[in-house]
């Protein structure tokens, strides 16, 4: 693909930490992981960072922590109907029931105005997903949570470095999560991170990550539900380099994002695109668009771009009504109209730091060619 979602290039820093792990004959969680956690927390101002084997596992251990605060199996956790499947799967894996809420079509994020109606006596938390790197309305979400006695978990897997009112996402609620998959601003091949500013949460997260054992214990004493979600030192070596390069990566991706927005301004009549509000900083995770007219056929546009060597993915759609995996929950098509519309009419592609300006101009030319033909 000429334009892919991401591209991993291993530099001298990562090679040095990789070699260190090799020389110690140690590939499991060790000194590199501890260094990665320390640097990640320090760079973004979180009190604690807990490295995991994936962003999904970071969400699982964070949701599972709710058991320590009185939640019981089968209780409900509010989550957006439209998000990457990992969020809802994590809720199920941790023993809870996802309670879906529709999103705002203009932001792709959970609609705070619809959250209160979804709260029941069994609701224990809200998982706010910062989709495509755009921060949720955390003022409204935290206000609801405080009034209703709920915990707030921020799935920031796509939102490295994003800010809401000058605060990094992930550190606004009780816990936040990040992914280090290839398309993300920090990449370790696989891997993830759970973060928190609460030492009690941090101890629980570290315990759940390692089968529910007490933090720092080598004894087989299992205090809570747990998983094997540890990161290894080889992945951490790549992540450490990603932190060193973060500012340059973020800035270059932001340049690409803004350039592509500029190049496609005249397509506004055809597509909705994300815009940054004055109170926020959007992380340049990917470039998304939603067709204004369904007759313009997202599937044909998808195929057109793929045939042009531009790697595409859809915008997830409504998990409870457009994906069979959640059919057992009994939702019916039409319950989540914005999520369903986005699923039928939205796609996204990469703006990673290794692209060149002529790649962006090529993407723009291909989009203009498609809509001109209409």
Q: What is the 8-class DSSP label of residue 172?
A: S
CA gap 359, 349 in Å, rounded: 12
Bridge-based pairing of strands 287-291 and 346-349 is antiparallel
pTM of the model: 0.96
Inter-residue contact 326 to 316 (CB < 8 Å): no
> Does residue 25 register a pLDDT over 90?
no
Indicate the CATH number for domain 246-373.
Answer: 3.90.1150.10
What is the model's pLDDT at position 157? 98
CA–CA separation, 172 and 120 (whole Å): 24
The domain limits of the chain are 12-244, 246-373
For residue 199, give the 3-state DSSP assignment. Answer: helix
165-214 confidence digits (pLDDT tens) = 999 999 999 999 999 998 999 999 899 999 999 999 999 999 999 999 98
- DSSP class of 113: G
Q: Contact at 8 Å (CB) between 353 and 11?
A: no
Over residues 278-330, the pLDDT tens digits come to 999 999 999 999 999 999 999 999 999 999 999 999 999 999 999 999 999 99
Q: Which overall architecture, per CATH, does domain 12-244 show?
A: 3-Layer(aba) Sandwich (3.40)
CA distance 154 to 170: 5
DSSP codes joined into one string, 86-113: HHHHHHHHTT-EEEEE-B-TTT-SB-GG
**Dist CA 32 CA 280 (whole Å):** 32
DSSP per position, 140-159:
HHHHHHHHHT-EEEEE-TT-
User: Region 58-74: what's the mean pLDDT?
Assistant: 98
Q: For residue 358, how many other CB atoms are within 10 A of its CB?
A: 10
């Amino acid at each position: 693909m000429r334009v892919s979602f991401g591209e991993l290039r291993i530099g001298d820093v990562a090679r040095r930490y990789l070699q260190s792990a090799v020389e110690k004959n140690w590939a499991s969680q060790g000194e590199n992981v501890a260094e990665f956690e320390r640097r990640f927390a320090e760079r973004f101002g979180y009190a604690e960072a807990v490295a995991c084997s994936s962003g999904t596992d970071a969400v699982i251990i964070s949701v599972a922590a709710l058991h320590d605060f009185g939640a019981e199996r089968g209780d409900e956790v509010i989550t957006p109907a439209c998000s990457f499947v990992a969020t809802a799967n994590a809720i199920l894996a941790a023993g809870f029931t996802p309670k879906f809420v529709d999103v705002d079509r203009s932001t792709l994020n959970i609609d705070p105005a619809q959250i209160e109606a979804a709260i029941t006596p069994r609701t224990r938390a809200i998982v706010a997903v910062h989709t495509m790197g755009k921060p949720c309305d955390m003022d409204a979400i935290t206000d609801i949570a405080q009034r209703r006695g709920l915990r707030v978990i921020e799935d920031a897997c796509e939102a490295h470095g994003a800010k809401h009112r000058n605060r990094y996402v992930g550190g606004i609620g009780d816990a936040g999560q990040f992914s280090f998959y290839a398309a993300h601003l920090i990449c370790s091949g696989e891997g993830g991170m759970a973060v928190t500013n609460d030492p009690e949460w941090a101890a629980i997260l570290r315990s759940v990550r390692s089968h529910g054992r007490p933090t720092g214990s080598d004894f087989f004493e299992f205090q809570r539900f747990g998983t094997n979600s540890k990161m290894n030192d080889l992945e951490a070596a790549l992540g450490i380099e990603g932190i060193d390069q973060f500012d340059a990566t973020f800035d270059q991706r932001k340049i690409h994002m803004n350039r592509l927005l500029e190049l496609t301004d005249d397509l506004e009549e055809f597509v909705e695109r994300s815009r940054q509000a004055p109170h926020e900083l959007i992380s340049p995770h990917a470039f998304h668009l939603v067709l204004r007219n369904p007759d313009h056929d997202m599937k044909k546009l998808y195929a057109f771009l793929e045939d042009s060597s531009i790697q595409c993915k859809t915008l997830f759609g409504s998990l409870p009504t457009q994906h069979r995996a959640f059919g057992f929950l009994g939702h019916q098509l039409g319950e989540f109209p914005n999520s369903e519309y986005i699923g039928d009419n939205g796609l996204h592609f990469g703006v990673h730091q290794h692209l060149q300006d002529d790649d962006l101009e090529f993407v723009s030319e291909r989009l203009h060619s498609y809509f001109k033909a209409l």
